[in-house]
Amino acid sequence: MASTRSPVPRRAHTKSRNGCVQCKRRHIKCDEKRPKCTNCTFSHRQCVFNSTIYFSHQRSPSTTPPAPSSTSSQASALPDVEPQLPQGEPSPPVNMLHAELFHHLFTETLTSLADANEDTDHLIDMITGHSISAPYLVNELLGMAALHLSLVRPAQQEYYRFHATQLQTHAISQFNSVSGSLNAENWMAIFLFSSALGTHMLCETLRYREDDWVPFLDRFVQYAQLHRGVRGIAGQTWDLLKQTPLGGLSHAHTQALGSKTKVPLNPMYAGLLKSIKAAKLGSPLTDVYRRTIEFLQIVTHSESDTIRHPPPSSIIAWPVLIPEEYLECLTRRRPEALVIFAYYATNLHFYRGLWIFGDAGKFLVERIIEHLGPDWESWLGWPIEVVNTYEHPANTI
């Protein structure tokens, strides 16, 4: 019956010149909401704009004729696709910036962050595998690579930093739209995303800081509060994580996440805690400082008077593990909290050649010494000694 009926005229609609590919294909108006328009959100379709990469498993009939089948219409060329061309240049068939970031991510960025005892090749294979089904993870990883490039290529700093922020924004938006309870399929992708996001945020906080250390400190506290979701994710997945190439992280972090008892402190940290106890600040506040110092020792693997340089992943973990009450003390600029923070900053200074940290450790120690004054120099003996001994910049990674 349908074959004898006159075709019904298509309902007129206002064309959206910058709309997504799916809306153009379906001949409906796109609200151009990014990263995913409303139509694609409700119809559970992949939302792709012309300015983004589109990986298709179908071939255009302009190069390969479609196979004669009932589904051949799905392989036809996309109608009404209107590329938005940059002025004076044709639109490239792929996003070459993303290709550049992908290459830099796996050849430079991830290897620079790997611990010495990690199987880097296996780790990269694992990250690649979990990224395929998690666009939010891909966007964040590429954003982190762009942030890395903004620091190692100063002449193009603004360009790469802009794209780092843009990719991170897309990643967070995508994650918020799909995040739910952890399950066997997504727990690793979510853990990797949270870790990459935290690294990105910490680097942005430390390297692109204000000259005035007071707003910098506020920004650090804000970063730590936003990143604390990683602790909840890690706490739920740690047993599974120990069976992966990331299991090398498990010793210090498992101890930190699961410890309910006091941790024996090395002489240096024990001396710091002794000074805090002597100040008679009251049991609740003293206990907050004690736990904060214990977490600092755990992540730095310091079991003797001579502190070994901890892996970067451990330094990144400390702001996530510390008590919320300590961050409140840091916000109020309590002097004892600032002293502990100077000890953390000293560990950053050991890795001053790593692109994430740069000279942030020395900057913080010097500003804290200046803020507290000579009355607190006896509390700050180790940070002062380290920043004065290791003055020359390390090689940038």
pLDDT for the residue numbered 320 = 86
Average pLDDT rounded to a whole number, residues 158-184: 88
pLDDT at position 304 is: 43
pLDDT, mean of residues 318-341:
95
Most confident residue range from 40-49, 101-110, 125-134: 101-110
Question: Domain residue spans in the chain?
Answer: 96-241, 245-389
The pLDDT, as a whole number, for residue 190 is 86
pLDDT score, position 348: 92
Q: What is the rounded CA–CA span in Å between residue 358 and residue 56?
A: 41
Per-residue pLDDT at 118 = 62
Higher pLDDT, 288 or 85: 288
| Out of 26-35, 320-329, 372-381, least confident range | 26-35
Rounded to an integer, what distance in angstroms lies between the CA atom of residue 344 and that of residue 361? 8
pLDDT in the model for residue 119 = 66
Question: Does residue 325 have a pLDDT over 90?
Answer: yes
Q: What is the per-residue pLDDT for 247? A: 56
Burial-class residue 258 by CB neighbours within 10 Å (0-12, 13-18, 19+): exposed
Each residue of 45-74: pLDDT tens digit? 777 776 443 333 333 333 443 443 443 333
Encoding tokens for residue 269?
């940290």
pLDDT score for 8:
46
- The segment with the largest mean pLDDT, out of 114-128, 214-228, 252-266, is 214-228
Q: pLDDT, tens digit, for every residue of 197-243?
A: 989 999 999 999 988 888 899 999 989 988 886 556 555 666 666 66
The three state secondary structure string of the chain is: CHHHCCCCCCCCCCCCCCCCHHHHHHCCCCCCCCCCCHHHHHHCCCCCCCCCCCCCCCCCCCCCCCCCCCCHHHHCCCCCCCCCCCCCCCCCCCCHHHHHHHHHHHHHHHHHHCCCCCCHHHHHHHHHHHHCCCHHHHHHHHHHHHHHHHHHCHHHHHHHHHHHHHHHHHHHHHHHHHCCCCCCCCHHHHHHHHHHHHHHHHHHHHHCCCCCHHHHHHHHHHHHHHHCHHHHHHHHHHHHHCCCHHHHHHHHHHHHHHCCCCCCCCHHHHHHHHHHHHCCCCHHHHHHHHHHHHHHHHHHCCCCCCCCCCCHHHHHHHHHHCCHHHHHHHHCCCHHHHHHHHHHHHHHHHCCCCCCCCCHHHHHHHHHHHHHCHHHCCCCHHHHHHHHHCCCCCCCC
User: Per-residue pLDDT tens for 284-316?
Assistant: 999 999 999 999 988 876 544 444 566 777 788
Average pLDDT for residues 6-10, to the nearest whole number?
47
Contact 147, 160 (CB under 8 A): yes
What gap in Å lies between CA 298 and CA 72, rounded to an integer?
60
Position 123 scores a pLDDT of 78
Q: Does residue 90 register a pLDDT over 90?
A: no
Which pLDDT score, from 0 to 100, does residue 238 have? Answer: 64
pLDDT at 51: 46
| Residue 142 vs residue 43, higher pLDDT | 142
Higher-pLDDT residue of 312, 372: 372
pLDDT of residue 161: 97
* Mean pLDDT of the chain, nearest integer: 78
Q: Which pLDDT does position 164 carry in this prediction?
A: 97
pLDDT confidence of residue 100 = 97
- Residue 262 pLDDT exceeds 60: yes
Contact predicate 351/309, CB 8 Å:
yes
- pLDDT the model gives residue 54: 36
- pLDDT value of residue 124: 84
